[in-house]
Chains A and B, each alone.
Chain A
């Protein structure tokens, strides 16, 4: 699994600054967690403790919440986030075939991050672009009329770009 170093002091300081606008009321907790996830791409343990302490919510409740809502990830996510729409319209246009292709041909499994930390695959339900389904969102960019072949091209391109970046840095 992808490992990410977190520094508690640094997280505390960052969150102090980022969450200053909130009133520390219980009703805010889901949005606070969303903001944190937007920042780190996932919810590090340090951040959960921070919220529990500052919003005075027992740690058991915190876990109940972050595991109940699908928007939250307790594991670090990869450099590229792939979101495949499996909403009804995309389903009837064979989005599941693309899900299979991602795993079979590219080793990218649903709800997992690849060992190299490059890709995380998630599925979503209807993003409002059904007419262009199946839809794949790559780092927030929507791509329509997906096929297994197109997905293959996209993945290969991103892998290649990553390799070149690594090579350049060495």
Chain B
């Protein structure tokens, strides 16, 4: 492959690719995202290849990144009909190949069925997808992330070509400003303004950095983008670098994502081969290189100044905010840091144009946002919605409501810096400002749904424990304040809390928020404060009634066997390591509360759901 010497060559190649792929063969797009991997999509791949060879059928197999509907993993979509098969097992493959690939039939039993039992074979008709608006994650289900041609065939790198050949850097910045794009890494800072400051900053050398540290412990959007469509992220960085006037880029990837490092390295290599990266890109004066750095596993390194310290090979300790990284960032030189999803949104804006883009979203929040919708919900997965969609739409229209007919308790957004929102807030529009006003945060996009069996005190303690471990320890309010708040919550979990503790808790929370150096400490009290606002009664139940409404806090609960449900099968007695459960075969069993260690093994293994904790 020769390097493209001009934008026209790229366009010509694009045309060739489109002609080649147009309706020639059926495509089997097999999800190879982490969720589907955990459910055995590798075996399905093997079986698929075997079966096609056996029957001498030609078809294109594309192993894609996460397609979104992880709940139904492993997924297969047959294109061009877009028939979606869910929870596919290797033994289903012969039937799929025979009916859907050799023939044009649909295997009814393997498609999605709605709550009335009606089959919905077409991917885009499935409610989970129908209620979404996919802009940034749109191409992922059609792309083999290791193949640059797949991306180019779908119009990839035309935004870059357009920018390099018809727009000045200032015009690019102006477009991004007009688009209203705000940083998807959590803070929601206007991207165009950041680029402009960095462009204006004095300095010959400037850096463009991609934040792929994805520290929120319940989120995987950035992972999915890098694993599923690395070229789109790279294209965004290229456009940004051109606008800012930078020729050196970095991407800082969390070490738990080895696969993302692989796909992105491969993307860099392929883009280099095509002349889309390196010297004189598309035959212009613009040159750009990107280096990959793997993080060392520290949440605070997602913070901009800590990340840059870590890139320099030092310990990732943040510094005070009054020194701006756009002027004095990496190696003390002007640096522009954006989140993975922010970068990936940029080509979409250029492609569709500002006018179309700004039609999506609400007044101050334009475009879409990806979320990982997880927890106690029916349809867990990776989703994308217009900013300003309500929590209710997300939880019920897309998520399908709470799993196992339980009651909704709370939704957590913004990870350890965010908050818990109750049922009464479900009509809140999901945007940067509204979530902030409600005491939570957009964060990077984790949405964790909790049901009646979760405990609010326990979740708040969970986040504090996480932050206690992750605080770099440099400033006192964060280091000591978080630890102290956590100790109070532990006391409450044990039923030893007092009402004064709640006041102390609130007081420390405000001090930590007001006096910490970096965003970690400043936002650390959010989970506690929001839960005190919306779920104070649960705290009081722990303190006054010595009860845990969610049935989680060990000191306040016991396990019981429901007589009418127990069929005397004896499984619980077998798994109990304390020998606390007794009963004759086929007769109701009992738990000896004095012996019970409350490990929950019996509850988990009871086939008739006869064991409860309360």
Indicate whether A and B interact.
yes
Instruction: Judge whether A97 and B257 touch: CB under 8 Å.
Output: no
With A129-B34, A131-B380: A71-B296 Cβ-Cβ less than 8 Å: yes
Considering the chains assembled together, what is the distance between the CA atoms of A61 and B313 in angstroms?
A: 10
Q: How far is the CA of A101 from the CA of B604 in the complex (A)?
A: 12
CB-contact partner of A128 in B34, B311, B604, under 8 A = B34
Give Cα A93 to B376, complex, Å: 7
Most A C-beta atoms less than 10 A away, residue of B296, B315, B463: B296
Q: Is the CB of A128 within 8 A of B296?
A: no
Cβ contacts under 8 Å, A33 to chain B: 296
**Minimum distance in angstroms from B412 CB to a CB of chain A:** 7
The distance from the CB of A132 to the nearest CB of chain B, in whole angstroms, is 5
Judged by a CB distance under 8 angstroms, whether B316 is at the interface is yes
Inter-chain contact A131/B599, CB cutoff 8 Å: no
Q: Count contacts on B: residues with CB < 8 A to the other chain.
A: 60
A45 close to B (CB within 8 Å): no
**Scoring A residues 18 to 34 as 1 if CB is less than 8 Å from chain B, else 0, what string do you get?**
00000001111111011
| Minimum distance in angstroms from B243 CB to a CB of chain A | 25
Within 8 A of A (CB), among B347-389: 372, 374-376, 380-381
Q: Considering the chains assembled together, what is the distance between the CA atoms of A72 and B224 in angstroms?
A: 25
Chain A residues 65-118 with CB under 8 Å of chain B are 65, 68-72, 86-89, 91-94, 97, 100-101, 104-105
Q: Which residues of B contact A88 (CB under 8 A)?
A: 216-218, 374-375, 412, 415, 446, 448, 462-463
Please tell me if B397 contacts chain A, counting CB pairs below 8 Å.
Answer: no
**B425 on the interface (CB 8 Å rule)?**
no
| In the complex, per-residue mask of B560-593: 1 if CB is within 8 Å of any chain A CB, else 0 | 0000000000000001010000000000000000
Assuming the contacts A28-B313, A69-B298, A93-B375, asked whether A142 and B217 have C-beta atoms less than 8 A apart, the reply is no
Determine how close the nearest CB of chain B comes to the CB of A169; give it in whole angstroms: 31
How near does chain A come to B490, taking the closest CB pair, in angstroms? 14
Contact B296 A133 (CB under 8 A): no
Flag B278-316 by CB within 8 Å of A: 1 or 0 each. 000000000000000111111100000000001111111
Given the complex of chains A and B, what is the CA–CA distance between A91 and B375 in angstroms?
9
Knowing A88-B448, A142-B38, A149-B575, say if A125 contacts B256 (CB, 8 Å).
yes
Q: Which of B37, B315, B450 contacts A64 (CB 8 A)?
A: B315
Q: Specify which of A27, A70, A131 is in contact with B374 (CB 8 Å cutoff).
A: A131
Contact A126 B219 (CB under 8 A): yes
> Which of A112-148 touch B at CB < 8 Å?
124-133, 135, 142-144, 147-148
Chain B residues within an 8 Å CB radius of A30:
293-296, 310, 313
How far, in angstroms, from A56 to B267 measured CA to CA in the complex?
Answer: 33
Q: Quick check: A70 and B297 within 8 Å, CB to CB?
A: yes
B217/A86 in contact, CB under 8 A: yes
A100 touches B599 (CB 8 A): yes
Residues of B within 8 A of A104 (CB): 577, 597, 599
Question: What residue in chain A is nearest B446 (Cβ atoms)?
Answer: A88
* Alpha-carbon separation in the docked complex, A31 to B34 (Å): 23
Counting chain A residues whose Cβ lies within 8 A of the other chain, the interface size class is: 35 or more
Q: For chains A and B in complex, what number of residue pairs have CB atoms within 8 angstroms?
A: 160
Interface contact A92-B459, CB-CB below 8 Å: yes
Residues A149 and B605 in contact, CB atoms below 8 Å apart? yes
Contact A149–B601 (Cβ < 8 Å): yes
- Per the 8 Å Cβ criterion, residues 216-239 of B in contact with A are 216-220, 223-224
A87 near B604 with CB under 8 A, answer: no
CB–CB A71/B255 < 8 A: yes
**In the bound complex, what is the Cα–Cα distance between A59 and B274 (angstroms)?**
43
Q: How far is the CB of B69 from chain A (nearest CB, A)?
A: 9
Kindly report which residue of chain A lies nearest to residue B70, judged by CB atoms.
A131
> Separation in Å of the B374 CB from the closest CB of chain A?
4
A147 contacts B604, CB within 8 Å?
yes
Q: Is B336 an interface residue, CB under 8 A from the partner?
A: no
B145 → A minimal CB distance (Å):
14
- Residues on A with C-beta less than 8 A from B312 are 26-27
* B315 and chain A: residue at smallest CB distance: A68
Instruction: State the Cβ distance, A144 to closest chain B Cβ, in Å.
Output: 4
B575 touches A129 (CB 8 A): no
Expressed in whole angstroms, the Cα–Cα distance for A68 and B314 within the complex equals 10
Contacting residue for B296 out of A69, A126, A130, A143, CB 8 A: A69
Contacts A27-B311, A104-B599, A149-B601: A125 and B217 contacting too (C-beta < 8 A)?
A: yes
Q: Among the listed A28, A71, A94, which residue makes an inter-chain contact with B297, where contact means beta carbons less than 8 Å apart? A: A71
A94-B35 Cα distance, complex, nearest whole Å: 18
> A142 — which chain B residues lie within 8 A by C-beta?
34, 37-38
Give complex CA distance A57, B312 in Å: 13
Which of A92, A127, A143 sits near B34, CB closer than 8 Å?
A: A127
Which residues from A are CB-within-8-Å of B466? 125
Given contacts A64-B315, A93-B375, contact A143 B605 (CB under 8 A): no
- Contacts known (A30-B296, A68-B315, A94-B600); A131 close to B35, Cβ less than 8 A: yes
* CB nearest to A65 among chain B residues: B315
Residues of A within 8 Å of B372, CB to CB, are 89, 130
B27 proximal to A (CB < 8 A) = no
Min C-beta distance of B38 to chain A, whole Å: 4
Q: Taking CB as reference atom, which chain A residue is nearest B221?
A: A128
User: What chain B residues lie within 8 Å of A124 (beta carbons)?
Assistant: 256
Out of A28, A64, A126, A149, name the residue touching B220 (CB < 8 Å).
Answer: A126
Contact flag A147-B73 (CB < 8 Å), given A68-B315, A126-B218, A128-B257: no
Q: Please name all residues of chain B whose beta carbon is closer than 8 Å to the beta carbon of A144 when the two chains form the complex.
A: 38-39
Q: Cβ of B605: which chain A residues have Cβ within 8 Å of it?
A: 147-149
| Measured CA separation A128–B121 after assembly (Å) | 27
Q: Does B71 contact A (CB under 8 A)?
A: yes
Q: Which residue of B lies closest to A27 (CB)?
A: B313
Could you tell me the distance between the alpha carbons of A161 and B71 in the complex, rounded to whole angstroms? 33
A72 vs B218: C-alpha distance when bound (angstroms): 22
Does B599 contact A97, Cβ atoms closer than 8 Å? yes
B601 close to A132 (CB less than 8 A) = no
B339 at the interface (CB under 8 A from A): no
Query: B167-217: which have CB < 8 Å to A?
Result: 215-217
Q: Does B342 contact A (CB under 8 A)?
A: no
Of chain B, the residue at the smallest CB distance from A132 is B38
Taking the closest CB of chain B, its distance from the CB of A115, in whole angstroms, is 21
State the A residues within 8 Å of B (CB).
Answer: 25-31, 33-34, 57, 61, 64-65, 68-72, 86-89, 91-94, 97, 100-101, 104-105, 124-133, 135, 142-144, 147-149
| Further contacts, 16 of them, CB under 8 A, given A26-B314, A34-B255 | A65-B296, A68-B315, A70-B297, A88-B462, A89-B218, A89-B375, A92-B375, A97-B599, A104-B577, A125-B215, A128-B35, A128-B66, A130-B220, A130-B374, A132-B39, A148-B601
Q: What are 26 A-to-B residue pairs whose CB atoms are below 8 Å?
A: A26-B313, A27-B313, A65-B315, A68-B296, A69-B296, A86-B217, A89-B372, A91-B218, A92-B454, A101-B601, A104-B577, A125-B466, A126-B256, A128-B35, A128-B224, A130-B220, A130-B374, A131-B374, A131-B380, A132-B70, A142-B34, A142-B37, A147-B604, A148-B599, A148-B605, A149-B604
Closest 8 CB pairs of A and B: A69-B296, A88-B218, A131-B70, A128-B220, A125-B217, A71-B297, A70-B297, A89-B374
